[in-house]
Every structure is written in C-alpha cells, then in structure tokens.
C-alpha cells in the first residue's frame, strides 16, 4: 500500500490517509456567514470523490471585526452552528474527517465589509488594503480576540467538527503579529524575538484549549517565511514550530507568510518544503505540506522524500473533485 494511503493520528484522531484538502475560500456563505446549500454541496462532493482523509474548511471569521470579505463563512455566532452541523454530517457520511479553520483578518479587513475600524499589531496599512490606517490593538483587545477564537472553537466542536486549524498565515492577524514587516510594537507582543511574535498565537491556543477541551485536535497554519527582505526567515519558522509544538499544537501546516500562499520564483510541487523539512527535524508532531501538488504521484514522492507527514492538494481539488482519477 502506498504510504499516502496509510492512516495517521493527529492527537487521538485517526485519519484514514495522509491526503488533505486545505482551506480555500468559496465565498458562498450567506450575508451572516452561514452555511448555504452551495457550501454544503461543495464539501460533500469533494469528500466523496477526492480520495482525501481530511478536509480543512475555508477560513471562518471569529468576530465581525475580523471578517475578510463578503461571502466568508462565520463561526462568530451561535446561530451558525446548525448550518455547520449539517455540513459536518454530510462529510462524515463519506468517511472523511473535517477541521474548521478559524481566522481574523486584522489589517486586511475593510470597514466597508465589517462596519468597524480595522485593527492590527501596529498602525501600518496592509499591503493589499492601503485605503485605511488600522488601529494598533491594545492588550485588552488582544485578550478579547483570543477569547473570540476560543468561543469559535467551542462552536466548531458543537457543530461536529473533528478539530480546528488556527489561521496564522497569508497576511491575516496572527501572521501580522508574527511578521516583522507588520509588527512594530514595543511591548511583549513586539518583534524583538520569535517568542514575542508568537505570544498572541500561543494565547489563542490556550483559549481554544480552555473553550473546546484538551482532547480536541488543534492545528496551526503558520506563514513561517515571508520571503521578503526584513521579513520572517526559515530560522524564524523553525523556532516558531518548536515553540508551537511545546505549546500543545497537534499539527503544523506550513505555508508562506505576508506575501500570500505562493513562494516567489517557485512553482515546483511542494514549494514550501524548505520549511516543512526543517520543521520535521525540529518537532515530534505531524507536519502538513501544501503547495503546487497536482497529482497523486507528486504527493507520494514528497512523502517518500521526507518532506512532510501529510500532503495538501488545493487548487487541483478546487477545480475538479475527480482530480485523482
């Protein structure tokens, strides 16, 4: 049997294989962030036909201030739980596990979408959102936002999810605190050390554990490297992975940082493998690698080469649920 189709455990949760559908936005939620028939059908089809062991849903905002775009799904309110329960039931019927990705857009948000002033680690405009100067978050706001992540995780568990993934990548709030490009603070959350830059993320982890339970699997999608001058580096990524593993993370999902979900100048399968290889040598928890994988053969090769423990296949599955046939 191919190693790709061998089971693997995340915390105490056993996946039937090592193929993962990573988060990709459908923008098909209703105006309140609720799950629609279109969202449910999209995930059920991929659970049925895409040969995957785990789905990680598109990013769901944990508070109105953190909403990134219209049509984004939400776990910010209790009213969203029944719709998500319908979706998780559909996916489980296909024998596939499912995690919810929890997110806050930070300075990437817009008041035109949220009705609120964007916030972030510092009063620095996001590279993709130059129209509004965000407010620097107070310590109290940081603590309240960590609590919002925790409550969203509790709702996810009540909705039947098998775990959650905390979104700390792609230029969103937790990635902004991690990146020296966006974080110019002078307090304990500032860029002076990787320990400081991951402090908010670790407080989110603690809040999730308190609210959802110690036995609920928690992954972190980390934008480990910015691949930009003055940004986070491979050494930072490896140090952050160690810190997160020691803080109770069950799965590390490595990807690019503030510049988005691509690596400039690279299109080869597994183009973030510099980070995933280093992480596997540094930690004892599973590592998920996503990026540029379009065939089963490519996914199998990356596993055999020791690049990761699980492989994510994104755009190929997004385009065609029968991608592996």
**Which residues lie across from 166 on neighbouring strands?**
102, 220
- Tokens 């509790």 — which residue? 154
Residues labelled catalytic:
172
Tell me the H-state helices in the chain. Answer: 37-49, 81-93, 111-114, 139-158, 173-178, 194-197, 199-212, 234-246, 273-282, 296-304, 315-319
Q: What gap in Å lies between CA 180 and CA 192, rounded to an integer?
A: 9
Distance of CA 284 to the CA centre of its chain: 20
Q: Are strands 8-10 and 13-15 parallel, antiparallel or unpaired?
A: antiparallel
Spatial contact of 312 and 253, defined as CB atoms under 8 Å apart: yes
Tell me the H-state helices in 122-185. Answer: 139-158, 173-178
Spatial contact of 233 and 171, defined as CB atoms under 8 Å apart: no
User: Helix (H, G, I), strand (E, B), or coil: what is residue 100?
Assistant: strand
């Amino acid at each position: 049997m191919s190693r790709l189709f061998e089971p693997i455990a995340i915390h105490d949760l056993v996946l039937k294989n090592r193929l993962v559908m990573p988060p990709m936005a459908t923008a098909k939620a209703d105006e309140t962030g609720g799950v629609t028939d279109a969202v449910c059908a999209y995930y059920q089809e991929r659970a049925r036909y895409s040969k995957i062991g785990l789905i990680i849903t598109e990013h769901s905002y944990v508070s109105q201030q953190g909403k990134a775009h219209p049509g984004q799904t939400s776990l910010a309110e209790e009213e969203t739980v029944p719709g998500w329960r319908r979706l998780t039931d559909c996916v489980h019927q296909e024998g596939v596990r499912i995690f919810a990705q929890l997110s806050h857009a930070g300075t990437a948000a817009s008041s035109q979408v949220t009705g609120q002033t964007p916030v972030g680690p510092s009063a620095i405009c996001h590279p993709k959102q130059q129209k509004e100067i965000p407010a620097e978050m107070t310590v109290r706001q940081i603590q309240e936002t960590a609590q919002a992540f925790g409550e969203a995780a509790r709702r996810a568990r009540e909705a039947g999810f098998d775990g959650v993934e905390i979104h700390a990548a792609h230029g969103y709030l937790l990635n902004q605190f991690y990146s020296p490009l966006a974080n110019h603070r002078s307090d304990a959350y500032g860029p002076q050390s990787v320990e400081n830059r991951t402090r908010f993320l670790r407080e989110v982890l603690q809040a999730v554990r308190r609210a959802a339970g110690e036995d609920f699997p928690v992954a972190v999608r980390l934008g480990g490297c910015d691949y930009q001058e003055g940004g986070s580096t491979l050494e930072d990524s490896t140090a952050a992975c160690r810190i997160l593993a020691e803080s109770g993370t069950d799965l590390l999902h490595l990807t690019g940082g503030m510049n988005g979900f691509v690596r400039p100048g690279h299109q080869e399968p597994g183009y973030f493998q510099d980070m995933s290889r280093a992480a596997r040598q540094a930690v004892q928890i599973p590592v998920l690698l996503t990026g540029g994988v379009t065939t089963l053969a490519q996914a199998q090769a990356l596993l055999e080469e020791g690049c990761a423990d699980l492989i994510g296949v994104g755009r190929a599955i997004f385009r065609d649920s029968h991608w592996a046939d």
